[in-house]
Amino acid sequence: MRLFRSTPEGGYNVPKTEPAIRYAEILLIYAEAMNELSSAYNVPAYDGNGSISVSRNVSEMSKAISQIRIRGGIPDHEPAIYASREALRKSIKREWQIEFLAENHRYFDLRRWKDAPVEEATPVMGCNMDMTANQRDLFHTPVIIASLPTIFVKKMYLWPIPHEELRRNVRLTQNPGWTNPY
């Protein structure tokens, strides 16, 4: 078995699998879903034998979240956070943000939580580039970057279907808020 493949340029490519989902994502999905349950539900078992009762279970949520936090050297949440659905929701959102930094999850998370109108309309902040040599201590003072306007409108929850696809299939309809080719 060859581990390397030659390229036309004379270099080598090393085949590498890219994980589609990480275990931390499974744990956070589980904890987030369990936190959102409002009552107990009976779900048919995967093997068809009986059913499984599912409800908001603090010890199960703690078991899932603590695996992520302890791996990062952070202690588990206080029991008061697990007791409050809103506090735990806020904490889980923060865990998603930290755990999946630069992994292209944030865009979809904000839409799933319906937080995009607030988060994506927040002004972009940057360092103070207008300071002089005498004001070098002010460089790290956050300032709004006016040249990067931020806006979010409701139609941005769904991407537009390309006009070419709409012409190809006349039974398709454009997503709300976007223009039709006709």
Tens digits of residue pLDDT in 9-39 = 767 677 777 778 999 999 999 999 999 999 9
Tell me whether residue 1 is in a domain.
Answer: no
Distance CA 160, CA 176 (A): 8
Residue 163 lies in domain: 157-182
Q: Is 139 in the same domain as 94? A: no
Cα atoms in the 13 Å half-sphere on the side-chain side of 44: 4
91: amino acid identity, one letter: S
- CA distances to 60, 100, 117 from 21, rounded to whole Å, are 21, 11, 27
Distance CA 46, CA 27 (A): 19
* Number of structural domains the chain divides into: 3
Last residue of a domain, one of 115, 132, 166: 115
Would you tell me how many other CB atoms lie within 10 Å of the CB of residue 27? Answer: 19
Q: Is 105 in the same domain as 125? A: no
Mean pLDDT over 150-171 rounds to: 93
Tell me whether residue 5 is in a domain.
Answer: no
Higher pLDDT, 181 or 56: 56
Tell me whether residue 64 is in a domain.
Answer: yes
Q: Is residue 174 over pLDDT 60?
A: yes
DSSP state of 102: T
Query: Which residue's entry shows tokens 């956050």?
Result: 142
- pTM equals 0.77
Give the domain CATH number at 111: 1.25.40.900
Tell me whether residue 3 is in a domain.
Answer: no
Tell me whether residue 100 is in a domain.
Answer: yes
What's the pLDDT score for residue 10?
67
Give the rounded distance of the alpha carbon of 112 from its chain centre: 8
Q: Is 65 in the same domain as 110? A: yes
Q: Is 40 in the same domain as 100? A: yes
pLDDT tens readout for residues 108-118: 999 999 999 99
